[in-house]
Amino acid sequence: ASFAASRTPVTGAFHRNAPRRRHIRPIRHISCAYGESQKDGTWVEKSQNAFGKLINVAKGQKEIVQAGTPCLRDIALEVPLSDIDSAKIQELVQEMLTICRGRGVGLAATQIGVPCRIFVMMDNEEGMSDVSPDALRERDRTPFHEKVVINPVVTPMSNLSAAFFEGCLSVQGYRGLVRRYLEVRVTGFGGDGNKVDFVAKGWQARIAQHEMDHLNGVLYVDRMDTRTFRRLDKINEPMPPKHPEFGDAPREGVCAADDKNEKGKTTAGVAGVADVEGFLGKGKKLGKRRTSGRSPFE
């Protein structure tokens, strides 16, 4: 019998013994991310990501660039959402986490020469082992699991701020007193492309602001009280005294929102709230983006 004979003359439907059409399900996008992100930015690496680690070991780690390298002064480029689970971005995140685990509490992509708006941050008890309990309390520093934030936005939650010494992997061997917000909201995307939205307080908030600065071409030395700049081995030396030109002696700790001296300057000469708002996009506007002239994915 012919193919036509297998159809009924009334409805044209196939008989039971006629070939059936296969139901084709729509293709679902399968994430290739090396881990999963939680709402608070916490990154949970997949146990089967051994292959990604081997790739990074084979390639070798990128060097952390030092002050004076042009890419540290460029404004990083946003990562297209469709590229987040690409091998290039996943390997970059993996490498940043590996470097940060061994060397610090935060790292921006620009610090390894990649102009992408990505930073990672973490803090653990081992890294706090050389800090006194009193200093930890004063800085509101507590452990938190590693976080990955892509295309971050950092917004202050209040005008409360504090001044403490900061260092940087890209300005090795030095410290300076920097004033930062005590509480900020961080939004963006995790390493798997899911949205993240959390409030960082205390030392975690300081880390987020420091890394956000990097993505906008700013180093902590641009915001510090320059009179406090010192080598790491001089960190416990006394603060400089009151000065007729620069005002009151610098001091560490929480600052009042309207903390001014008799000359109207913020105490310790550190960057005030209005200055910090500039890089957060709340006050002064960022100038035209200057980039290295190439795509972050090249």
Q: Indicate which residues carry an active-site annotation.
A: 211
Distance separating alpha carbons of residues 3 and 246, to the nearest angstrom: 96
In terms of phi and psi (left: phi > 0; alpha: psi -120 to 50; beta: otherwise), the region of 12 is left
- The three-class DSSP label of residue 236 is coil
Distance separating alpha carbons of residues 244 and 193, to the nearest angstrom: 52
- What residues contact residue 179 under an 8 Å CB cut-off, 6+ apart? 161, 162, 163, 223, 255, 266, 268, 270, 271, 272, 276
Question: Which of 91, 77, 75, 125 is closest to 105 using CA atoms?
Answer: 125
Would you state the structure tokens that stand for residue 294, as one six-digit string?
């190439």
Would you state the structure tokens that stand for residue 72, as one six-digit string?
């540290």
- The three-class DSSP label of residue 107 is strand
- What residues contact residue 28 under an 8 Å CB cut-off, 6+ apart? none
Residue entry with tokens 């051994």: 50
Q: Which segments within the chain are labelled E, that is strand?
A: 35-37, 43-45, 106-108, 118-123, 144-156, 161-166, 174-181, 183-189, 195-201, 225-231, 253-255
Distance separating alpha carbons of residues 111 and 64, to the nearest angstrom: 6
Rounded alpha-carbon distances, angstroms, from residue 212 to 149, 230, 269: 10, 23, 22
Question: Which of 122, 54, 119 is closest to 93 using CA atoms?
Answer: 119
